[in-house]
Amino acid sequence: MFYNSRGQLSTEALFAVIIILLLAVVVSAFALQENNEAVLLSGNAVSKESCEKLASIIYHISNSNAKASIVFDLESNASISASTITVGSYYCEFLGNAQGSSLNAGKLRAFKNSQGVVVFEQA
pLDDT score for 103: 93
Distance separating alpha carbons of residues 86 and 60, to the nearest angstrom: 19
Quick check: is 92 in a domain? yes
- The number of folded domains in the chain is 1
| Pairing mode, strands 90-93 and 84-87 | antiparallel
| Mean pLDDT of each 10-residue bin along the chain, 123 residues long | 60 85 87 73 74 93 86 92 89 91 93 91 87
Quick check: is 40 in a domain? yes
Residue 66 is given by DSSP the state S
Distance separating alpha carbons of residues 118 and 60, to the nearest angstrom: 10
Quick check: is 39 in a domain? yes
Distance separating alpha carbons of residues 86 and 92, to the nearest angstrom: 7
Quick check: is 54 in a domain? yes
Quick check: is 69 in a domain? yes
Range of the domain at 56: 11-122
Classify the phi-psi angles of 23: left when phi > 0, otherwise alpha if psi is within -120 to 50, otherwise beta: alpha
Quick check: is 2 in a domain? no
Quick check: is 17 in a domain? yes
Quick check: is 4 in a domain? no
